[in-house]
Amino acid sequence: MKKAFLLEKMSIHVRDVPKPRLEPNHVLVKVHACSICGTDLHSYRYGENEIMKRVPRNFPMSSFYGAINSQGGGHQIAGEIVELGADVTQWKISDRVAGVGRSGFAEYCSMKRIYPLPNELSYEAGSFIEPLGVAVAAVRRSGIRLGDFAVVLGAGPIGHLTLQCAKAAGGTVYVTEVSEKRIKLAGMFADEVINPREVDPVKRVEELMGGVAPNVIFECAGRDATIKQLIDMAGKYWTPYGQHMRGVIVSLFEKPWVYDLFDNNAIIAKSMELIGSPIYYPYEHPKDELRIAIDLMKTGKINITPLITAKIPLEDIDLDFKTLLKDEKLYVVIQP
């Protein structure tokens, strides 16, 4: 079978290798779609070793961060079961599944964390349940309520999905973004999209909110500038109805923060809460966000279709990573 490897930064090679051997509790999946994650782009740009230096050892996704590496990459996977491990009883050959795995940029992949993929959803949509699960978790942890106001800083893949989830939760959502392509896409769902290159986003949000702070701000860009904007947007004191403003950091940062979060005692002075939300609940948790993600797509509350702007064969994966870094494409699905 063919499988992609990152042997050095900015250079992915596709090679012929044997199919993976199955552990007793795994299944072999013929990969029909594997979408490219932002963490894949990080590891491609800087190399596996440099990226892993920035990930805490106890970070729950450290085994996927730097996902393209000497062992292969790609963890947002959808496909068809073609072989069962010795201990697998709940699945059968030809079942359509989607989930989280390793080495999904390949024709076949050994997987354990999988979910039934409804017939209503394409394999391409199925490859988005993992990033959508991240967005679902962030919105649930934010505590956003019907009628609340939210700001999403950055409309990349996770930012865009967070936007849609916050709208599905009943929020009025404003988005900041500098890419014209992403601005256009976010405009299909957001109540307003603010381009920081044209308008001061802090002042514009203050105008939209009538001088009070949003209920929730999601940081989804991974930049010093957006961390500062999050703090500045928190308002002078507190939000209406006695609810403290909550900032949710969803991004994984490529570099250490330069901005001092405690500059001028901003967090305590504004009575704000700041939390991180990097990942979803563990597999088989009764409120597993990936199951929620599938239901949201199946019922049409989340629309994945506009996000998929390119479907690329595995052989072209290196070229496609380069075009993604140049912002020439938005969201790409690899089809081995």
Q: What is the pTM of this model?
A: 0.90
Residues 267-283 have pLDDT tens digits of 777 778 899 998 887 77
Taking residues 150-170, report their average pLDDT. 96
| Structure tokens given for 228 | 């500062």
Rounded distance between C-alpha atoms, residue 59 and residue 250, angstroms: 13
Cα 102 from Cα 36, distance rounded (Å): 12
Written as six digits, the tokens of 127 are: 């490859």
CA distance 110 to 102: 8
Specify the pairing of strand 331-335 against strand 2-8. unpaired
Q: Which residue has the higher pLDDT, 257 or 119?
A: 119
How many CB atoms sit inside 10 A of residue 285's CB?
Answer: 11
Strands 216-219 and 149-153: parallel
By DSSP bridging, strand 172-176 and strand 11-16 are unpaired
- What domains are there in the chain, each with its CATH number? 2-128+304-335 (3.90.180.10), 134-276 (3.40.50.720)
Task: Write the pLDDT tens digit of every residue in 180-204.
Answer: 999 999 999 999 999 999 999 999 9
